[in-house]
């Protein structure tokens, strides 16, 4: 494997019905092409050696002899290759004929897997020619004078990953063989198929493969018969599909008359991580005893990844934007609404800075008030200018609160902080952590006391990314009575605010657009000579788009720093140098471990996506754990 990835291929060769010699020559061509692309396992369609549509020709001795001779020729043609090859052909055992998958590597036959479920409907009459592999109790067969493992109980492994095989109809039954194969260790399923085309069938097929790969936490490689098949009654399109854990990651061009090789990399580490998290995964394991046959590890264990990884794994795709944003807001609103009602609070108190996080939290608070039928004036927004507050953020904060029609308060923290500096004998000219944290804690004190005064709850504004980095002042902005953004990472905060801007009136939209363009900052240090923000968060801790990427793969899948670095270099190749990515990854890991003590006592907040850092649920970690090295 290459950093946990296995390169696989679905191959759709040129084919002539009943011309076995021609077919294996074309199969060999694609095998050699796959070898050039460093494919480790390549799967061909069902009965591709003979053609699927041979019908009663399957009962002709000549065709069966030709098929066996062609298999021998394929062994010679692929003797020098290291890829594992899976081809479909009829295999005769005494008085029975089996629709089978033959597995070869380096010219040697490793095993033969027969089809379990045979269709017998208006289009396909396989039971006319073939027997089910489920009826066979012979563990081996003789091919070319050698004893070869045979049966539906075969798995194949190189010690680092394991795969299983099912054939066409096997996938369409209520409990496919692949379900048990994955429960017994197979991470990838290869399906040799011959699926004809009908209106709507292709979409259903894609959904079926996606669902099976998701249900099994597996990779799924599907290779179906192409245009070379007989079109006497039905038409074949050459479906080559590769799925990983519920998502199609590669597909062929349907109805093409050209041979095709669909190649992609399946992340075995990710699949294994999913299974580790799913402690019920093997509960329904059957009593079948599978035999795992050894394959040789491919000699090309280093290759550039085929796929490009999404820079923003937390951000929903554009085509589901409205639906996704509505759902996220609904989760946040639902959580706050319950807390507001349960505490019998009369108001919701929130500090408004003119930044992204407090803007999203305010939107959630207002929408919650609307949902509960509470006057928006019961939402109390407080702007608390300090030593670093700029005109830009102050103006945006005030104007946005006005546009939403909430109660607005302005309480400067400057005099209180100056008095505090005197009390603790700190020179305010020294702009250190004391200078910064004094302001953050003074703001939190004001929010808490105003909430007491107006019988309210303090709404937290901190987001998931800040929690991961520990970018908050302990018992300052770290604390609230309900943290509505705690499950939303910074990249998603920006996405939600941008979406909300298009849902509001023109004035509010303009304000939100300027907030989106404002650099992220806690504004705890004085502005520069031009009155602009001097303290920019991403200059200090690094780009949030990188940190959200690191967070996703570290927490969601438990990937090692080396694996995360590989993926980040792939995703951000056009944005950052390898050295910059590695620098910020080291900082992320250090801060993630060092700042756990803050996460161990965070307020309640709604989980929005697949990742959360609440110590009461998703993330439980000792505060004094040693950080990973790489």
Going from the C-alpha of 470 to that of each of 22, 249, 368, 610, the distances in angstroms are 64, 35, 28, 20
Number of neighbouring beta carbons within 10 Å of residue 22: 16
Cα–Cα distance measured from residue 382 to residue 442, given in angstroms and rounded to the nearest whole number = 13
Catalytic residues: 46, 115, 168
Cα–Cα distance measured from residue 355 to residue 363, given in angstroms and rounded to the nearest whole number = 12
3-state secondary structure of 375: coil
List strand residue ranges (DSSP E) for 465-618, in order. Answer: 482-483
- The alpha helices in 78-165, defined as continuous H runs, are none
What totals of helices (H) and strands (E) does the chain contain, helices first? 18, 20
- Dihedral of CA atoms 285, 289, 293, 297 in degrees, nearest 10, equals 20
Q: Tokens 């292709």 belong to which residue? A: 202
The candidate with the shortest Cα–Cα distance to 45, out of 212, 254, 238, is 238
Query: Which DSSP helix (H) or strand (E) runs through 459?
Result: strand 456-460
The candidate with the shortest Cα–Cα distance to 613, out of 399, 460, 465, 411, is 465
Q: If you compute the radius of gyration of the chain from its CA atoms, what whole number of angstroms results?
A: 31
Query: Which DSSP helix (H) or strand (E) runs through 193?
Result: strand 188-193
Question: What 3 state SS string does 231-265 have?
Answer: CCCCCECCCEEEEECCEEEEECCCCCCCCEEEEEE
Cα 530 from chain centroid (whole Å): 44
Cα 361 from chain centroid (whole Å): 27
Cα–Cα distance measured from residue 623 to residue 600, given in angstroms and rounded to the nearest whole number = 7
Cα–Cα distance measured from residue 167 to residue 279, given in angstroms and rounded to the nearest whole number = 29
Residue 606 in contact with residue 335, Cβ under 8 Å? Answer: yes
Which conformational region is residue 16 in: left (phi greater than 0), alpha (psi within -120 to 50 degrees), or beta?
A: beta
Query: Which DSSP helix (H) or strand (E) runs through 35?
Result: helix 20-36
Cα–Cα distance measured from residue 25 to residue 49, given in angstroms and rounded to the nearest whole number = 10
Cα–Cα distance measured from residue 388 to residue 564, given in angstroms and rounded to the nearest whole number = 36
For residue 544, the number of C-alpha atoms closer than 13 Å in the C-beta half-sphere is: 25
Query: Which DSSP helix (H) or strand (E) runs through 302?
Result: none
- The alpha helices in 224-380, defined as continuous H runs, are 268-277, 321-342, 356-372
Going from the C-alpha of 563 to that of each of 502, 517, 585, 593, 611, the distances in angstroms are 38, 33, 11, 18, 19
């Amino acid at each position: 494997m290459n950093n946990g990835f296995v390169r696989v291929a679905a191959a759709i060769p040129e084919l002539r019905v009943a011309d076995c010699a021609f077919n294996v020559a074309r199969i060999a061509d694609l095998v050699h092409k796959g070898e050039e692309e460093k494919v480790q396992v390549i799967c061909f369609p069902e009965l591709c050696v003979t053609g699927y549509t041979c019908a009663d020709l399957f009962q002709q001795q000549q065709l069966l002899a030709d098929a066996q001779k062609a298999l021998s020729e394929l062994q010679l043609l692929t003797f020098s290759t290291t890829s594992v090859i899976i081809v479909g052909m009829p295999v005769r055992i005494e008085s029975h004929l089996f629709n089978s998958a033959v597995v070869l590597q380096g010219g040697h036959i490793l095993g033969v897997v027969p089809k379990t479920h045979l269709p017998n409907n208006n289009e396909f009459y396989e039971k006319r020619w073939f027997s089910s592999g489920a009826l066979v109790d012979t563990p081996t067969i003789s091919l070319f004078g050698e004893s070869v493992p045979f049966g539906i109980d075969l798995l194949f492994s190189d010690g680092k990953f394991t795969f299983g095989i099912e054939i066409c109809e096997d996938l369409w039954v209520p409990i496919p063989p692949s379900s048990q194969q994955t429960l017994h260790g197979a991470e990838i399923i290869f399906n040799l198929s011959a699926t004809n085309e009908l209106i709507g069938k292709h979409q259903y097929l894609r959904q079926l493969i996606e669902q099976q790969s998701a249900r099994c936490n597996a990779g799924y490689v599907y290779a179906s018969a192409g245009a070379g098949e007989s079109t006497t009654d039905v038409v074949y399109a050459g479906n080559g599909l590769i799925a990983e854990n519920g998502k199609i990651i590669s597909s062929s061009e349907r109805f093409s008359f050209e041979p095709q090789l669909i190649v992609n990399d399946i992340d075995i580490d990710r699949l294994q991580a999913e299974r580790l998290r799913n402690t019920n995964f093997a509960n329904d394991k059957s009593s079948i005893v599978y035999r795992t046959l050894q394959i040789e590890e491919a000699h090309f264990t280093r290759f550039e990844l085929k796929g490009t990884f999404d820079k923003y794994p937390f951000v929903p795709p554009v085509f589901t934007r409205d639906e996704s944003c509505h759902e996220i807001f609904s989760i946040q609103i639902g959580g706050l609404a319950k807390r507001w009602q349960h505490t019998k609070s009369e108001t919701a108190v929130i500090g408004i800075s003119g930044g992204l996080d407090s803007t999203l939290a305010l939107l959630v608070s207002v929408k919650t008030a609307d949902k509960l039928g509470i006057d928006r004036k019961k939402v109390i927004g407080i702007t608390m200018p300090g030593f670093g507050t700029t005109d830009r953020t102050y103006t945006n904060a005030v104007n946005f609160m006005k546009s939403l029609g909430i109660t607005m308060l302005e309480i400067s923290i400057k005099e209180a902080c100056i008095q505090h500096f005197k009390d603790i004998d700190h020179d305010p000219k020294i702009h250190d952590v004391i200078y910064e944290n004094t302001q953050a804690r003074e703001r939190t004190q004001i929010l808490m006391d105003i909430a007491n005064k107006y019988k309210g709850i303090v709404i937290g504004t901190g987001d998931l990314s800040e929690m991961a980095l520990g970018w908050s002042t302990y018992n300052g902005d770290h604390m609230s009575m309900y943290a509505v953004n705690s499950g939303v990472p910074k990249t998603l905060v920006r996405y939600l605010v941008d979406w909300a801007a298009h849902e509001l009136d023109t004035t509010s939209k303009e304000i939100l657009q300027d907030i989106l363009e404002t650099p992220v900052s806690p504004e705890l240090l004085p502005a520069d000579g031009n009155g602009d923000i001097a303290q920019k968060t991403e200059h200090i801790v690094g780009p949030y788009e990188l940190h959200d990427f690191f967070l996703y793969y570290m927490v969601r899948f438990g990937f090692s720093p080396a694996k995360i670095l590989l993926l980040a270099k792939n995703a951000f190749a056009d944005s950052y140098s390898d050295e910059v990515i590695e620098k910020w990854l080291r900082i992320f890991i250090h801060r993630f471990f060092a700042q756990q003590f803050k996460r161990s006592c965070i307020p309640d907040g709604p989980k929005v996506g697949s990742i959360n850092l609440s110590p009461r649920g998703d993330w439980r970690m000792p505060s004094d754990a040693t950080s990973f090295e790489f």
